């Protein structure tokens, strides 16, 4: 009885076909698009929309008191570009970026070259060196306030111990390098790891051959090491430069843009305009100008870096 | 994988975009919700008979444990829950943006120079419909009542009221320097400061309010000292009454410059934060400093000070030292119903006036007795309970208690500036300009001109 029923059921049913998965029923392109759709939606919501909105704000002027908003076209941009305050803060930003980039790169490169060598305590040092990068910016700022403080600071204590007097590192003439040093201190470990990864791929034989050829330390660095690290170094320079150009938190926590505006970089100025003075249009316009500056400088830098390197990458050199 | 010049440049552009996009993203966070001017209108509300819902209270990070204990007590007594949030960082900017975006803020802290703009923008409710408005105003110190009345309406209840720039002295340093008389004017003060340095009793005998913060610090010091010297900086409607050709302000800033260049003030003072300002004075070794009146307790606290028992307030003899500094409880306008507004008034009343059930100043007395945070009510400040608490830590209590009372008897208040809608922006500007006059980065007259021009520009933009 049971067997008969089963046979009847099978006969009644259409010919059984293996189930085709959904992914096989649509084209590869469509399936790919479906897979990335959630990420695209998220990106639109948290990046594209705010950025587009910021662009919209930059062509409006709103009065927080009356609650009125009006379209002003490029007025915010022309006002910013015509303001001496804007150019002062932009110049300060460029100086800050230069200081951070140079200091950060030197420290990162030095640390990477050191860690490439084999010596006692290397592993410990590799672990320790990452600590500044692991700290929050606020914590780093607190630590460095106590390093720089002429009253309670570490630097002042060392100086006084050596018979000198306490130095104020945050005067108007020294505040930018002092801030840059902290920024570089915090960001350099990332560069060190970045460069170290590439350095470990350089065959030791190349250094041995270079020594046989009579190359000195600098010559070996220029002819053996540099060609390998040129690309990661360029990427690190862009990262640290971009980071410095948009730095706000460290400056806010350490100096609040002071003394007297001496560390008031463009991002800080944008913050003041947008959040303290409630001039959203002006703040947004300056943000966009900053973005353009960063893009132009970066692309210019890459063009230069590639030209210096003969326009070929490490792989192409091989 | 090979990298061509084209792909490399393309990646560079994306990397740069990614690095720089933070700015536009940041500016987009400013939001744009706006409301326009408004006032709380309608008949006076009645005190709610029962608790309901939840109120959101936002404060800056001072004594959060005390505040939490009081919100819990309020919930227990009145049945309304309170969500207490502590705002870290640039409090006015953060709260201002939250108000602008109509976030759910019921009770918030504020300083005296902020509410005018917020009220004009319709971001806060005034207390016109508060059932005990007249009684509360009647009990306030006259100067506090005046400070809290904007455009004829009560805009909040007092959180604290004390003197900012109260002149403190370190008796130990003064004794070492052989000084036995108090200065009565700023000229005498600065003369004594130089005398202390000459005597060798202190290398940096004066700690002024030069520290910089956008909503505090050096602009307050500037306004306060000018007022004490009898130079009202601003007239009605915030019209500036100073310029680079009139001597007063220029002379004052020139004196500040001299104090700095003669190394009479601690190094790094221009980048101090409030904590540095307090810690440096509490460390001893400095003769005089204009400070927040309530920090007198900190300076005499053995746990926080290196010279407890040595810090006293300098008596006022003809000239005021400092000006009124007010913390205010405000109520955010998020379109509340009458019932919700009444609940918010109820919480504000509990914190900033009398507890409805007992009829006592519960929280204000707690602030004054436990934390030396004097209040906007004479009945609280002069109560036996507060006096007894203060006398426990106050050095030379018999002499000092009347001096402290005198500070609060008739303090000056920068009403003409604070009751403008642009005070915050002007002070922000001043916090950048004034240090440049002090350290010589800019000419004193240039700075004075810049301060005046900024005020004029803001009046043009926002009105008086």
Average pLDDT, integer, range B160-189 = 97
The distance of A70 to chain B (nearest Cα, Å) reads 12
Q: Given an 8 Å threshold on Cβ–Cβ distance, is B90 in contact with A149?
A: no
What is the pLDDT, as a whole number, of residue B240? 96
End-to-end CA distance of chain A: 77
Residue of B nearest to A248 (CA): B23
Structure tokens at A310: 């003969």
C-alpha torsion B412→B414→B416→B420, nearest 10: -150
What one-character DSSP code corresponds to residue B294?
A: G
Q: Given an 8 Å threshold on Cβ–Cβ distance, is A277 in contact with B425?
A: yes
CA dihedral (B413, B419, B420, B421) positive or negative: positive
Report how far residue B421's alpha carbon sits from residue A278's, in angstroms, rounded to the nearest whole number. Answer: 12
Q: What are the C-alpha distances in Å from B138 to residues B35, B135, B144, B145, B366?
A: 32, 5, 11, 8, 21
Digit-coded pLDDT (tens) for B154-170? 999 999 999 999 999 99
Residue of B nearest to A257 (CA): B432
The distance of A12 to chain B (nearest Cα, Å) reads 57
What one-character DSSP code corresponds to residue B288?
A: E
Strands B107-111 and B54-60: parallel
Report how far residue B313's alpha carbon sits from residue B192's, in angstroms, rounded to the nearest whole number. Answer: 16
Digit-coded pLDDT (tens) for A221-249? 999 999 999 889 988 998 999 999 999 99
* Residues of B with Cβ-Cβ distance to A270 under 8 angstroms: 23, 26-27
What is the pLDDT, as a whole number, of residue B333? 94
Q: Given an 8 Å threshold on Cβ–Cβ distance, is A238 in contact with B266?
A: no
| Number of Cβ atoms within 10 Å of the Cβ of B195 | 16
pLDDT at B31 over 70: no
Q: What pTM did the predictor assign?
A: 0.85
Instruction: Please give the mean pLDDT across all residues of chain B.
Output: 91
Cβ neighbors of A304 (< 8 A, separation 6 or more) are: none
| Number of Cβ atoms within 10 Å of the Cβ of A113 | 16
Report how far residue B118's alpha carbon sits from residue B40's, in angstroms, rounded to the nearest whole number. Answer: 13
Residue of A nearest to B14 (CA): A295
The percent of residues in chain A predicted with pLDDT above 70, rounded, is: 91
pLDDT band, very low/low/confident/very high, at B35 (cuts 50, 70, 90): very low
- Which parts of B302-443 fold into alpha helices (H)? 338-352, 362-371, 378-381, 384-393, 397-409, 415-418, 423-439
What is the pLDDT, as a whole number, of residue B32? 46
Across the A:B interface, residue pairs with CB atoms under 8 Å apart total 234
What is the pLDDT, as a whole number, of residue B42? 82
Which of A150, A235, A245 minimises the CB distance to B267?
A: A150
pLDDT band, very low/low/confident/very high, at B213 (cuts 50, 70, 90): low
Structure tokens at B122: 């319709």
Q: Given an 8 Å threshold on Cβ–Cβ distance, is B9 in contact with A53?
A: no
Q: Given an 8 Å threshold on Cβ–Cβ distance, is A313 in contact with B13?
A: no
Residue A252's nearest CA partner among A150, A95, A140 is A140
C-alpha torsion A269→A274→A277→A281, nearest 10: 110
pLDDT at B60 over 50: yes
Digit-coded pLDDT (tens) for A264-303? 999 999 999 998 888 999 999 999 999 999 999 888 887 7
Top residue of B9, B20, B98 to mutate, by most chain A CBs within 10 Å, is B20
What is the pLDDT, as a whole number, of residue B26? 52
Q: Given an 8 Å threshold on Cβ–Cβ distance, is A313 in contact with B3?
A: yes
Q: Given an 8 Å threshold on Cβ–Cβ distance, is B271 in contact with A258?
A: yes
Top residue of A56, A154, A275, A282 to mutate, by most chain B CBs within 10 Å, is A275
Digit-coded pLDDT (tens) for B78-107? 999 999 999 988 899 899 999 998 899 999
What is the pLDDT, as a whole number, of residue B34? 43
CA atoms lying within 13 Å on the CB side of residue B177:
29
CATH superfamily of A83-317: MetI-like (1.10.3720.10)
* Residues of A with Cβ-Cβ distance to B93 under 8 angstroms: 275-276
Report how far residue B261's alpha carbon sits from residue B194's, in angstroms, rounded to the nearest whole number. Answer: 12
Average pLDDT, integer, range B317-333 = 96
pLDDT at B39 over 90: no
What is the pLDDT, as a whole number, of residue A19? 77
* Residues of B with Cβ-Cβ distance to A233 under 8 angstroms: none
Instruction: Please give the mean pLDDT across all residues of chain A.
Output: 87
pLDDT at B6 over 60: no
pLDDT band, very low/low/confident/very high, at A27 (cuts 50, 70, 90): confident
pLDDT band, very low/low/confident/very high, at B415 (cuts 50, 70, 90): very high
Q: Given an 8 Å threshold on Cβ–Cβ distance, is A294 in contact with B20?
A: yes
Residue of A nearest to B282 (CA): A151
CA atoms lying within 13 Å on the CB side of residue B10:
5
Which of A54, A170, A299 minimises the CB distance to B27?
A: A54
**φ, ψ at A72 (rounded to 5°):** -125, 5
Report how far residue B334's alpha carbon sits from residue A171's, in angstroms, rounded to the nearest whole number. Answer: 44
3-state SS class at B18: helix
* Residues of A with Cβ-Cβ distance to B434 under 8 angstroms: 260
Q: What angle do CA B389, B391, B393 make, to 5 degrees?
A: 85
Q: Given an 8 Å threshold on Cβ–Cβ distance, is A260 in contact with B441?
A: yes
pLDDT band, very low/low/confident/very high, at B369 (cuts 50, 70, 90): very high
The distance of A90 to chain B (nearest Cα, Å) reads 13
Q: What is the C-alpha radius of gyration for chain A, rounded to an integer number of angstroms?
A: 29
Would you kindly state where each structural domain of chain A is located, as residue ranges? 83-317
HEC letters along chain A? CHHHHHHHHHHHCCCCCCCCCHHHHCCHHHHHHHHHHHHHHHHHHHHHHHHHHHHHHHCEEEECCCCEEEECCCHHHHHHHCCHHHHHHHHHHHHHHHHHHHHHHHHHHHHHHHHHCCCCCHHHHHHHCCHHHHCCHHHHHHHHHHHHCCCCCHHHHHHHHCCCCCCCCCCCCCHHHHHHHHHHHHHHHHHHHHHHHHHCCCCHHHHHHHHHCCCCHHHHHHHHHHHHHHHHHHHHHHHHHHHHHCCCHHHHHHCCCCCCCCCCCHHHHHHHHHHHCCCHHHHHHHHHHHHHHHHHHHHHHHHHHHHHCCCCCHHHHC
Report how far residue B219's alpha carbon sits from residue B209's, in angstroms, rounded to the nearest whole number. Answer: 8
Q: Given an 8 Å threshold on Cβ–Cβ distance, is B32 in contact with A62?
A: yes
Report how far residue B261's alpha carbon sits from residue B264's, in angstroms, rounded to the nearest whole number. Answer: 8
Domains of chain B: 54-161+325-392 (3.40.190.10), 163-324+404-462 (3.40.190.10)
Range of lowest pLDDT (A114-128, B224-238, B347-361, B396-410):
A114-128
Range of lowest pLDDT (A77-91, A115-129, B374-388):
A115-129
Which of A57, A231, A313 minimises the CB distance to B32?
A: A57
Do the Cβ atoms of B335 and B315 come closer than 8 Å? no
Q: Given an 8 Å threshold on Cβ–Cβ distance, is B121 in contact with A67?
A: yes
Which of A149, A280, A316 minimises the CB distance to B32?
A: A280
Q: Given an 8 Å threshold on Cβ–Cβ distance, is A238 in contact with B34?
A: no
Strands B107-111 and B323-332: antiparallel
**φ, ψ at B360 (rounded to 5°):** -100, 160
Top residue of B9, B22, B23 to mutate, by most chain A CBs within 10 Å, is B23
| Number of Cβ atoms within 10 Å of the Cβ of B167 | 24
Q: Given an 8 Å threshold on Cβ–Cβ distance, is A275 in contact with B90?
A: yes
The distance of B102 to chain A (nearest Cα, Å) reads 13
* Residues of A with Cβ-Cβ distance to B270 under 8 angstroms: 170-171, 258-260
Residue A286's nearest CA partner among A246, A234, A228 is A246
Q: What angle do CA A10, A14, A15 make, to 5 degrees?
A: 85
Do the Cβ atoms of B298 and B304 come closer than 8 Å? yes
Please report the DSSP string for B201-224 in residue order. Answer: S-SS-B--S--EETTEEHHHHHHH
CA dihedral (A4, A5, A7, A11) positive or negative: positive
Residue of B nearest to A62 (CA): B32
Q: Which residue has the tokens 């104020």?
A: A168
pLDDT at A310 over 80: no
The distance of B332 to chain A (nearest Cα, Å) reads 15
Residue of B nearest to A307 (CA): B5
Q: Given an 8 Å threshold on Cβ–Cβ distance, is A267 in contact with B35?
A: no
Report how far residue A274's alpha carbon sits from residue A85's, in angstroms, rounded to the nearest whole number. Answer: 15
Which of B16, B37, B273 minimises the CB distance to A294?
A: B16
């Amino acid at each position: 009885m049971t067997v008969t029923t089963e046979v009847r059921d099978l006969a009644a049913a259409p010919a059984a076909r293996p189930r085709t998965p959904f992914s096989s029923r649509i084209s590869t392109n469509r399936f790919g698009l479906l897979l990335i759709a959630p990420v695209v939606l998220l990106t639109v919501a948290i990046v594209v929309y705010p950025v587009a909105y910021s662009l919209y704000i930059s062509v409006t002027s709103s009065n927080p008191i009356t609650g009125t908003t009006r379209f002003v076209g490029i007025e915010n941009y022309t006002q910013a570009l015509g303001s001496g305050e804007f150019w002062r803060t932009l110049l300060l930003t460029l100086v800050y970026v230069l200081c951070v980039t140079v200091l950060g790169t030197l420290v990162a490169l030095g640390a990477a070259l050191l860690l490439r060598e084999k010596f006692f305590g290397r592993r410990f040092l590799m672990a320790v060196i990452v600590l500044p990068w692991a700290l929050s910016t606020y914590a780093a700022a607190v630590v460095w306030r106590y390093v720089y403080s002429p009253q309670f600071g570490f630097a002042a204590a060392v100086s006084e111990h050596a018979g000198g007097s306490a130095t104020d590192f945050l005067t108007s003439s020294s505040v930018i390098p002092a801030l840059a040093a902290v920024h570089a201190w915090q960001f350099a470990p990332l560069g060190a790891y970045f460069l170290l990864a590439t350095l470990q791929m350089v065959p030791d034989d190349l250094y041995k051959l270079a020594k046989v050829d009579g190359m000195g330390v600098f010559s070996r660095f220029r002819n053996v090491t540099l060609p390998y690290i040129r690309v990661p170094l360029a990427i690190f320079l862009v990262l640290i430069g971009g980071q410095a150009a948009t730095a706000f938190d460290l400056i806010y926590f350490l100096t609040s843009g002071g003394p007297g505006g001496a560390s008031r970089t463009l991002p800080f100025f944008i913050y003041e305009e947008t959040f303290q003075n409630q001039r959203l249009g002006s703040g947004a316009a300056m943000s966009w100008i900053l973005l353009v500056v960063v893009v132009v400088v970066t692309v210019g830098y890459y063009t230069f870096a590639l030209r210096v390197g003969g326009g070929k990458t490490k792989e192409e050199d091989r | 994988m090979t990298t061509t010049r084209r792909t490399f440049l393309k990646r560079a552009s994306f990397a740069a975009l990614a690095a720089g996009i933070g700015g536009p993203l940041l500016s987009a966070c400013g939001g744009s919700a706006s409301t326009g001017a408004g006032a709380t209108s309608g008949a006076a509300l009645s005190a709610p008979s029962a608790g309901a819902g939840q109120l959101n209270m936002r404060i800056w990070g001072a004594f959060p444990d005390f505040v939490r204990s009081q919100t819990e007590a309020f919930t227990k007594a009145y049945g309304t829950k309170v969500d207490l949030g502590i705002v870290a960082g640039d409090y006015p900017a953060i709260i201002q943006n939250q108000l602008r975006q109509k976030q759910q803020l019921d009770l918030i802290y504020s300083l005296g120079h902020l509410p005018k703009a917020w009220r004009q923008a319709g971001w806060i409710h005034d207390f016109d419909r508060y059932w005990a408005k007249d009684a509360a105003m009647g009990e306030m110190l006259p100067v506090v009542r005046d400070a809290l009345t904007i455009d004829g309406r009560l805009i909040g209840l007092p959180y604290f009221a004390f003197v900012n720039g109260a002149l403190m002295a370190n008796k130990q340093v003064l004794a070492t320097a052989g000084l036995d008389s108090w200065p009565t004017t700023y000229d005498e003060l600065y003369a004594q400061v130089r005398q202390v340095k000459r005597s060798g009793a202190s290398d940096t005998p004066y700690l002024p309010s030069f520290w910089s913060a956008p909503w505090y610090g050096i602009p307050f010091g500037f306004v306060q000292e000018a007022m004490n010297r009898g130079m009202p900086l601003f007239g009605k409607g915030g019209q500036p009454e100073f310029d680079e050709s009139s001597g007063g302000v220029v002379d004052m800033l020139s004196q500040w410059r001299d104090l700095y260049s003669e190394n009479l003030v601690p190094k790094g003072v221009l980048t101090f934060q409030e904590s540095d300002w307090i810690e440096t004075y509490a460390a001893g070794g400095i003769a005089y400093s204009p400070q927040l009146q309530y920090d007198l307790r900190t300076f005499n606290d053995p746990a926080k000070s290196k010279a407890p028992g040595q810090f006293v307030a300098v008596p006022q003899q003809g000239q005021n030292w400092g000006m009124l500094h007010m913390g205010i409880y405000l109520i955010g306008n998020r379109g509340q119903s009458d019932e919700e507004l009444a609940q918010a008034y109820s919480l504000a009343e509990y914190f900033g006036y009398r507890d409805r059930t007992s009829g006592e100043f519960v929280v204000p007395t707690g602030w004054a007795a436990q934390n030396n945070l004097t209040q906007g009510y004479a009945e609280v400040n002069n109560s036996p309970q507060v006096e007894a608490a203060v006398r426990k830590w106050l050095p030379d209590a018999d002499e000092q208690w009347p001096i402290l009372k005198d500070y609060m008897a008739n303090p000056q208040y920068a009403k003409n500036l604070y009751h403008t809608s642009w005070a915050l922006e002007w002070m922000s500007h001043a916090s950048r300009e004034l240090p440049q006059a002090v350290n010589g980065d800019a000419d004193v007259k240039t700075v004075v001109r810049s301060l005046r021009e900024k005020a004029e520009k803001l009046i043009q933009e926002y009105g008086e």
